[in-house]
Amino acid sequence: MSNRIERRFVALKEEGRAALVTFTMAGDPDYGTSLSLAKALPKAGADVIELGMPFTDPMADGPAIQAAGLRALRGGQNMKKTLSLVREFRKGDDDTPIVLMGYYNPVYIYGVDNFLVDAKSAGVDGLIVVDLPPEEDEELCLPALKAGLNFIRLATPTTDDKRLSAVLNNTSGFVYYVSITGITGAAAPDTDKVTAAVKRIKRHTDLPVASASRPRRTRAPSPKAPTAWWSAPRWWRHYAPVSTRTARPRLALSRQ
């Protein structure tokens, strides 16, 4: 499969630099503002955009993302509007990869077949669906791959080598390493442990590995460490999660 995600990481490898992956909740605080934020992210340095699909019960997320999703839902955001937001974004940017991130329920309610057709036509490149394990690949993962969308799987600190093989099966685009146990934002990860975990995962796959982390310094990290940061702004607790290069980092991507 060759899409914007793969092409972006190939280009980054050729440039010898790290990627910045950003997250913002679709429709937070309203559709127009959310679209403006998404359009601004590539100019702020984003290499890949993760766009949250609002859901009423985001079990793996902490208060900030929960609040962002609820604000979006109260503002009338739904899956149709989220795909419309991607479509509008694509009118001015046909290069930056977009990954929809969230939970299976909104996709299921929309209808898997219809969702995949509409997501592909809107310009979505990949999916991160946090509550679908490998045992449920037939629900969405395999149909998504068939439709030409990357399906990005999550690994955690409790994912041992035996389980990792199942996690990596059918995974494409990149692997997302969740560096802490518990909900998003519950604790700060140990960068040394994150680096060791990324190295272990890389022994099992050639895919880029994304890892939730925060660096100890603001300058470029060592080539031995994860080398691209996902970040959230200082007003994280009061507004939608969105990132810029000057914001507090949260997610890292390893070199390929």
Write out the catalytic residue numbers. 50, 61
How far apart, in whole angstroms, are the C-alpha atoms of residue 83 and residue 120? 9
How far is Cα 156 from Cα 151, in angstroms, rounded to an integer?
17
Cα distances (Å, whole numbers) of residue 114 to 79, 121, 155, 160:
11, 11, 28, 35
Do residues 163 and 154 lie in contact, with contact meaning Cβ atoms separated by under 8 Å? no
Tell how far CA 146 is from the center of its chain: 20
What's the gap between Cα 164 and its chain centre? Answer: 19
Residue 41 three-state SS: coil
Q: Give every strand in the sheet of 126-129, ordered side by side.
A: 21-25, 48-52, 98-102, 126-129, 150-151
If you search the block for the tokens 């996690």, which residue do you land on?
167
Largest CA distance in the chain: 45
Q: How far is CA 157 from the centre of its chain?
A: 18
Nearest to 240 by CA among 47, 11, 85, 8: 85
Q: Mention every residue, 6+ apart, whose C-beta is less than 8 A from residue 256.
A: 9, 12, 13, 206, 208
